[in-house]
Structure 1
Amino acid sequence: MALKFPIIFLLPANLEADELHELENQIPTLTFDINEAEIVLGKIGRKQRALFELRKHKLATEEVASSKDEADSPRRKRARTGPHSDAISDTASDDTGSDGEAAGDPALITVVKLAWFEDSLKADKVLPLDEYMVYRGRKVSAAPSTPSTPVKLPATPSQRAEDILKRAMADSGSSPLSQRSSYGPGRRGGEPSHRPAKPALLRQSTTEHDIDVHLPPIPEYLHTTYSCQRPTPTHPPNELFIEQLIKIRTARTLTGDKIGVRAYSSAIATLSAYPYTLSSAQEVARLPGCGAKIALLFQEFKESGSVQEAKEDESDPKLAVLKLFYEIWGVAETTAREFYNKGWRDMDDIIEYGWDGLTRVQQIGVKYHDEFQLKIPRPEVEAISNTILQYANKIRKGFQMVIVGGYRRGKLESGDVDVVLSHPDDSATHNFVERIVVSLEQDKYITHTLTLSTKNSERGQLPVSWKGNEKKAGTGFDTLDKALVVWQDPKWTTGEPKNPNPHRRVDIIISPWKTAGCAVLGWTSGTTFQRDLRRYCKKERSLKFDSSGIRSRVDGSSVDLESGPDGKPAPDMLTAERRVFAGLELEYRPPEERCTG
């Protein structure tokens, strides 16, 4: 049975991204609003740091005595450490119940060490807080007040959220606090929202209540935190609602809210894998990674056909400018914000005031921005890919190719073209990327080379090494030899003097045969699928997955999952990919079921 933890806010300080994400998935009562929390959990050990983190998250508190201190005193005393002490009751509730589980007063906030949560999981019970407590305070209004003014304490989690969760958990036979993320994705630790939160009311008709009693069962595969273990189709039943959430996630990306982006990504991945058409907010609230926040957004979508936050994001003039800059190839969201903060509002401003300060890649991105926004239909993707394969085999016969990316996941139109080339002879792929780029440039197919990487050849075409838990910057999702280029078909039949064919973005990836299955798997799957595949390998298999191959996290050795039982290599790249799934003890998911976004 799930442990009944208090509502927990997790501090991102001192946590690596993977560790933070893993903890978020483990905490069943996670909130992204510190004002709703009873427990603040963090990798900290000193009261001064706890106070700093509370101030950083704009939560004002007065220190109160711990339960141990109170037990040692013949009479509980009111805390006198703040200006509101006269307004605070002499009586305080214990934060531990007779069974040792944390329970408590929503006006209190307790900062505890991360070890409390980890030890509770190991003990299979919620442990008392005293040994782990760093600081305990009473939430107070941030605004100053006189002793005679009643203190305005933060509201407890809203009744509508409790109502949603109680009804949803009643359907699944669980406690309201036994599901992850009770309050869903929100802004935490980043810049505040550009608009105040709007109160929402959940209305439920008798008909909807009848539906809630007969909700479809949650598929077993949705109980895992790894989207690589779920079938996620190209067009899920709730696609229109998911599109609204994607718009909100984009806004969070543009404003630098990384925690919100990850939270929305998890909710989107869950909803994309849910095989039934949603009928009520309660049905949403019970799903892992969603909770009351997403449920309320669905209620709004069901009633109006849209989500107000998504509509406001689309009409926000600042976000519109940030989105325009973010669409420039070579401009990340941080650079987009830098451009905006310089006072630039359109492409003309970039060209007039900042052209000389742009990198060469960014200049190319500005020059061909409008053309890069044009979608590429499947027949053209195939034509470009076949030309690349033709040129590869002119240089060295025997090359095979798989078109990856959105095309392989079934998209009718793609933003760019991604192909993986490989050859049964490893000597053929060594430094091959340079040769094929030169050949395609000579015949005018490649007009610009944005990035040319030979790191895999420099490593002897071996998987990226693993050096303990040392963080290596810049490795990203992929370290194969690759060329990211601008492509234009040099042939045209019209009488125009200048080539009218649009410029396209094309990625040519070269993989040695022994790890081609990893390359195809890594470059085919959606972003969340890839992220969770790496988490799964790390947590469940003690492996490091990379598109260049697999390493053991125990001794750093290379792990071959692509050779057959007889030691012979796979006969083709798709067979190699299936063998990687099998070797990782994952059910094979066809590309059309890896559309996690």
Structure 2
Amino acid sequence: MEAGKPVDSEKKHRLMVQQAYPATLDTPESEASSFVAGTVSQYACQRRTTLNNCNKKFTDAFEILAENYEFRENEVPCLAFMRAASVLKCLPFTIVRMGDLEGLPCLGGEIRNVIEEITEEGESSRAKDVLTDERYQSFKLFISVFGVGLKTSEKWYRMGFRILEEVKADKTLKLSRMQKAGFLYYEDLVSGVSKAEADAVSLIVKDAVRTFLPDALVTITGGFRRGKKIGHDVDFLITSPGLRQEEEVLHKVIDLWKKQGLLLYYDLVESTLEQAKLPSRKVDAFDHFQKCFAILKLHQQRVDTRSCDTSKESDKAEVKDWKAIRVDLVVSPFEQYAYALLGWTGSRQFERDLRRYATHERKMMLDNHALYDKTKRIFLKAKSEEEIFAHLGLDYLEPWERNA
């Protein structure tokens, strides 16, 4: 302000993240990188990973290669590249030479070869080849449709389909309800959801749920809780501290949205908690909560205001003034809420490593429902995410530090 213009930042004004990287302000960059390397854990749950990725050119290449292995159902190298990407995302410096990798975990020979090529050539020829591969391009297109997974993509590819137009043109193909909705609202769904749209949907969801459960906790989870500005869908976790009324709330919300003309598609999956064996031994196991996978009609004026004037819709029927938005609603019993919140916040790699850490380092079993101590043979209760981290002996990481 004294200079009357923007001035250069000085080192003395920079804040260092002491917990994760105790490098001093005077440490040269090369020394800082090797010092940091020794403190980087193999587990994402012991690393603070924000959205500030200093190594995007490497992690983008890794994610393309991992996805290609996933499409080919080759799990081991897929996980290896995902773990490597996760490690590089947490670094507070950009890798400029191979020496910067010293002491970092999860970077095997194949991964180092990719890093070396990018540092020398500026890009990965392997990732470039994948992007032009016909099979990869087709799978990437197919899975962009809501309701289409790897098995369906494989089937379509074997049938000779390469683009979505060919799939839509085949009248003999039997599509599921979900896939039909995926094609019907494809352009809207594939364009992603902005933070403003997620906030607008949040108001619709909270209004509907609290109509029937006034004391309900409705929390946005997934990427938006981790601070992302854009996502594929909006996830919500719903619970109620009162009586066990939450089982009925989704049915009532669905009926309300039908009357309001907001529900374009829904698939309600009932809870299987009663027959579940908790916690699950599988790292990537599905949980047993009641869920609703829906597509909601978001009127454009709701993005900015809470008012939604539908009285003039008939006058401008030919002008589409709404957007289809993917919404997932998950209902959790109140006593499992902390575990459900932790599990549904993500990221996927963070959750996977959190469960691996619990099993291998603490002799515990963790899932979206519970934490079981195998040594003491007891379930550990938790009212908050902080308590779960404490049970595991981990430093608490904020949601925005879990972008692994």
- 1:217 aligned partner: 35
Q: Deviations over 1:524-557 (max 9, x none)?
A: 1211111111112222333322222333446875
Q: Which runs of 5+ in 1 are unaligned?
A: 1-209, 563-575
- 1:559 aligned partner: 380
- 2:293 aligned partner: 484
- 1:350 aligned partner: 167
Moved more, 420-429 or 535-544: 535-544
CA contact (8 A) 1:285 1:292 kept: no
- 1:542 aligned partner: 363
The counterpart of 1:271, out of the listed 71, 88, 94, is 88
Q: How does 1:140-179 map to 2 (within 5 A)?
A: none
CA contact (8 A) 1:465 1:551 kept: no
Query: What is the total number of aligned residue pairs between the two structures?
Result: 365
- 2:265 aligned partner: 448
Give the C-alpha shift of residue 426 in structure 1. 4.1
Cα separation, 1, equivalents of 2:97 and 2:150: 35
Q: Which runs of 5+ in 2 are unaligned?
A: 1-27, 300-307
Q: Deviations over 1:258-314 (max 9, x none)?
A: 111111011111111222221202323642111333233223222333211112211
Give the match's secondary structure for 1:534: helix
- 1:124 aligned partner: none
Give the C-alpha shift of residue 454 in structure 1. 2.5
Q: 1:586 to 1:321 in 2, by over 3 A?
A: same
Q: How does 1:28-43 map to 2 (within 5 A)?
A: none
Cα separation, 1, equivalents of 2:119 and 2:149: 34
Give the match's secondary structure for 1:587: coil
Q: Deviations over 1:127-148 (max 9, x none)?
A: xxxxxxxxxxxxxxxxxxxxxx
CA contact (8 A) 1:404 1:520 kept: yes
Give the match's secondary structure for 2:323: coil
State the AA in 2 paired with 1:420.
L
The counterpart of 2:335, out of the listed 514, 526, 547, is 514
Give the C-alpha shift of residue 517 in structure 1. 1.0
Cα separation, 1, equivalents of 2:32 and 2:208: 58
2:140 pairs with 1:320: no
The share of aligned pairs that are identical, in percent, is 23
Cα separation, 2, equivalents of 1:484 and 1:468: 23
CA contact (8 A) 1:221 1:229 kept: no
Q: 1:532 to 1:513 in 2, by over 3 A?
A: same
Q: How does 1:199-214 map to 2 (within 5 A)?
A: none
CA contact (8 A) 2:38 2:103 kept: no
Give the C-alpha shift of residue 240 in structure 1. 2.7
Q: 1:408 to 1:230 in 2, by over 3 A?
A: same
State the AA in 1 paired with 2:380.
V
Q: 1:542 to 1:299 in 2, by over 3 A?
A: closer
- 1:382 aligned partner: 199
CA contact (8 A) 2:221 2:237 kept: yes
Give the C-alpha shift of residue 384 in structure 1. 0.5
The counterpart of 1:497, out of the listed 297, 311, 317, is 317
Q: How does 1:73-152 map to 2 (within 5 A)?
A: none
Q: 1:468 to 1:444 in 2, by over 3 A?
A: closer
**Segments ≥4 residues shifted beyond 3 Å:** 210-215, 218-221, 466-469, 490-495, 551-558
State the AA in 2 paired with 1:583.
H
**Structure label with greater radius of gyration:** 1
CA contact (8 A) 2:34 2:102 kept: no
State the AA in 2 paired with 1:298.
I
Instruction: Considering fraction of residues, name the structure with more helix.
Output: 2
Give the match's secondary structure for 1:327: coil
Q: 1:291 to 1:512 in 2, by over 3 A?
A: same
Q: 1:339 to 1:235 in 2, by over 3 A?
A: same
Q: How does 1:299-338 map to 2 (within 5 A)?
A: 299-338=116-155
Give the C-alpha shift of residue 468 in structure 1. 9.2
Give the match's secondary structure for 2:366: strand
The counterpart of 1:577, out of the listed 373, 376, 385, is 385
2:335 pairs with 1:523: no
2:50 pairs with 1:233: yes
State the AA in 1 paired with 2:36.
I
Give the C-alpha shift of residue 580 in structure 1. 1.7
Give the match's secondary structure for 1:419: strand
State the AA in 2 paired with 1:560.
K
Q: Which has the higher contact order (CA 8 A, sep 6+)?
A: 2
Cα separation, 2, equivalents of 1:451 and 1:351: 26
Q: 1:395 to 1:347 in 2, by over 3 A?
A: same
State the AA in 1 paired with 2:34.
P
2:401 pairs with 1:589: no
Q: 1:430 to 1:542 in 2, by over 3 A?
A: farther
Give the C-alpha shift of residue 431 in structure 1. 3.4
Q: 1:442 to 1:237 in 2, by over 3 A?
A: same
State the AA in 1 paired with 2:293.
L
Scaled by the length of structure 1, what TM-score is found?
0.57
Moved more, 416-425 or 252-261: 252-261
Give the C-alpha shift of residue 331 in structure 1. 1.6
2:277 pairs with 1:465: yes
Scaled by the length of structure 2, what TM-score is found?
0.82
- 1:102 aligned partner: none
Give the match's secondary structure for 1:217: helix
Give the C-alpha shift of residue 466 in structure 1. 3.7
Q: 1:355 to 1:388 in 2, by over 3 A?
A: farther
Q: How does 1:377-456 map to 2 (within 5 A)?
A: 377-456=194-273
Give the C-alpha shift of residue 577 in structure 1. 1.8
Cα separation, 2, equivalents of 1:303 and 1:453: 53
State the AA in 2 paired with 1:368.
Y
Give the C-alpha shift of residue 381 in structure 1. 0.3
Q: 1:537 to 1:357 in 2, by over 3 A?
A: same
The counterpart of 1:284, out of the listed 98, 101, 112, is 101
